[in-house]
């Protein structure tokens, strides 16, 4: 057992190392355009209607449930919530991220002390584009996509 030193440093990805870039209003509007549905509500309404984290391999149902709640609150039920979820998901650019404040410095400090890895609860298909955008794909000693372990 080591004392006073760590064998490795592991970081979370979302909201630790990176933040999403992009405009949530534009993303929300694109979902409606792609679904061919007259807009209602605001992005904040959808985020507030979502509970817990999405199942990594069924984000469509997660977002559709949220759109159904928002539609009901705005007197728009029934609505094609599946089409809205598809429109939203097809509009997301998973590589549109930037470093969170202090993340570069934290990574550099950790690298000086030993191996560095990322442990993320998202699936590889969603998280790998973020690592690539940040230039971390080949800079990590290990990456664990816990979302693929279900």
67 in Cβ contact with 84 (< 8 Å): yes
- 78 with 115, same domain? no
- 107 with 80, same domain? no
Copy the structure tokens of residue 29.
Answer: 């509007």
100: DSSP letter: P
- 28 with 16, same domain? no
pLDDT at 94: 94
pLDDT at 70: 97
d(CA 143, CA 137): 9
Last residue of a domain, one of 91, 106, 130: 91
47-70 average pLDDT score: 89
* Domain extent at residue 85: 24-91
- 36 with 81, same domain? yes
- 81 with 37, same domain? yes
Element (H, E) at 19: strand 18-20
Query: Domain with 122 in it: what CATH number?
Result: 3.40.50.1000
> Whole-angstrom distance between the N-terminal and C-terminal Cα of the chain?
31
Count structural domains, the chain. Answer: 2
- 104 with 141, same domain? yes
CA angle 145, 148, 150 (to 5 degrees): 125
- Domain assignment present for 36: yes
CA dihedral 15, 21, 26, 27 (to 10 degrees): -50
106 in Cβ contact with 32 (< 8 Å): no
Last residue of a domain, one of 42, 62, 91: 91
Q: pLDDT for 99-143, tens place per residue? A: 999 999 999 999 999 999 999 988 899 999 999 999 999 999 999
11-25 average pLDDT score: 94
- Domain assignment present for 76: yes
90-101 average pLDDT score: 96
pTM of the model: 0.81
30 in Cβ contact with 135 (< 8 Å): no
């Amino acid at each position: 057992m080591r004392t006073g030193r760590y064998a490795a440093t592991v970081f979370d990805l979302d909201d630790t190392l990176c933040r999403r870039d992009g405009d949530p209003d534009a993303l929300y509007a694109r979902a409606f355009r792609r679904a061919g549905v007259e807009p209602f509500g605001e992005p904040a309404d959808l985020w507030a209607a979502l509970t817990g984290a999405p199942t990594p391999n069924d984000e469509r149902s997660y977002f559709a449930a949220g759109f159904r709640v928002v539609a009901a609150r705005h007197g728009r039920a029934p609505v094609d919530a599946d089409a809205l979820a598809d429109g939203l998901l097809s509009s997301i650019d998973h590589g549109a991220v930037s470093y969170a404040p202090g993340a570069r410095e934290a990574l550099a400090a950790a690298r000086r002390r030993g191996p560095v890895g990322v442990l993320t609860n998202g699936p590889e298909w969603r998280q790998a584009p973020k690592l690539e955008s940040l230039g971390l794909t080949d800079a990590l000693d290990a990456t664990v996509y816990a979302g693929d372990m279900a």
